[in-house]
Amino acid sequence: MTKGFQHFLKHWFHCNSGKRLFEQEKNLLDEALKNLFGYFAVQLGCVSQENLFANSRIQDKVMIDESVAHETAKKEQVHWVQAETDFLPIGRSAVDVVLLPHTLEAVDDPYYLLRQVDNMLRPEGHIVLSGFNPWGCLSFRMKHLSGSKDFKQAHFRRASRIGEWLEVLGYEVTSVRYTSVMCFNAYQKYPKWVKAIEFVERALCRIGLNFGNSYCLVAKKRVDMPTLVGLKWQLPSWRGLKSGAPLSSKNWHNRDKEKNRR
């Protein structure tokens, strides 16, 4: 696991560079979580002092993180479990919703983590995850031009790539939404340019080109009904007898007599 990346985001999301991005990302998560139901929801990794489950209708929420619980989690009645994401203390088919806020970017083997999540998720359950878009303006600048060690060590992956992994595990990607394209330092200085770029962004999204800085992906665990193969069901041969000729031991005895006479 890439130690400390989510802990780093906990502070970066509340500075000038990342505050607006966090607000947009949280809006996407709120929209995704408010329509998901169940009994238990689990979040893997903490990236903010704010409760990302605040808009969820699920009553029992669990936070799994390597750090100690903060006061906000206690006030929001979130059950805090201090554990590593490599060894999740959750039973099989016990959770309805799993939230992964930039969690896959903080691990060296994201596919292994997805298999663990799949193991603890119930049939028809949902995965909600967020991540930085490698093609996003701010994401590219922070990873390659800012000199930030934490961003350079993080593993940015496209939403389409993660969607392919989930489809292999038997999931259906129900939605993928992106935040704004802009590098947010210019938002207040050049509002007209921002609106123009956002207009172009919406046009590009219609043809499958997404340059938003981060994304929110929702996937549903499918349950396929088994289909019988290799068995050809046939009606028994005695159903071919003419109507009015009941099948009885007497009829079979008379038929044997006719054969002997011949």
Taking residues 224-228, what's their average pLDDT? 63
How many structural domains compose the chain? 1
CB atoms within 10 A of CB 212: 28
Measured in whole angstroms, how far is the alpha carbon of residue 142 from the centre of its chain? 25
Residue 243 in any domain: the answer is: no
Residue 191 or 98, more confident: 98
In a domain, 196, yes or no: yes
User: What is the Cβ-side half-sphere exposure of residue 76, based on CA atoms within 13 angstroms?
Assistant: 21
Is 192 inside a domain boundary?
Answer: yes
Residue 83 — very low, low, confident or very high, per pLDDT cuts 50/70/90? confident
253 found inside a domain: no
Alpha-carbon distance of 218 to 31, in angstroms, equals: 11
The answer to pTM > 0.95 is: no
- Between 52 and 237, the more confident residue is 52
* Residue with more model confidence, 253 or 130: 130
Domain assignment present for residue 256? The answer is no
For residue 181, give its domain range.
5-221
Higher-pLDDT residue of 243 and 46 is 46
Domain harbouring 213, CATH code: 3.40.50.150
Confirm whether 13 is domain-assigned. Answer: yes
37-41, 55-59, 122-126, 141-145: segment of lowest average pLDDT: 141-145
Whether 231 is in a domain gets the answer no
Give the whole-angstrom CA distance, residue 66 versus residue 6: 10
Annotate the chain with three-state secondary structure: CCCCHHHHHHHHCCCCCCHHHHHHHHHHHHHHHCCCCCCEEEEECCCCCCCCCCCCCCCEEEEEECCCCCHHHHHCCCEEEECCCCCCCCCCCCEEEEEEECCHHHCCCHHHHHHHHHHHEEEEEEEEEEEECCCCHHHHHHHHCCCCHHHHHCCCCCHHHHHHHHHHCCEEEEEEEECCCCCHHHCCCCHHHHHHHHHHHHHHHHCCCCCCCEEEEEEEECCCCCCCCCCCCCCCHHHHCCCCCCCCHHHHHHHHHHHHHC
Length of the chain: 262
Of the chain, the percentage scoring pLDDT greater than 90 comes to 41
Kindly state the percentage of the chain with pLDDT values over 70: 71
51 in any annotated domain: yes
Band of pLDDT at residue 53, cut at 50, 70 and 90: very high
> What average pLDDT does this structure show over 102-106?
94
Look at 54 and 257; give whichever has higher pLDDT: 54
Phi, psi torsion values for 40, nearest 5 degrees: -135, 135
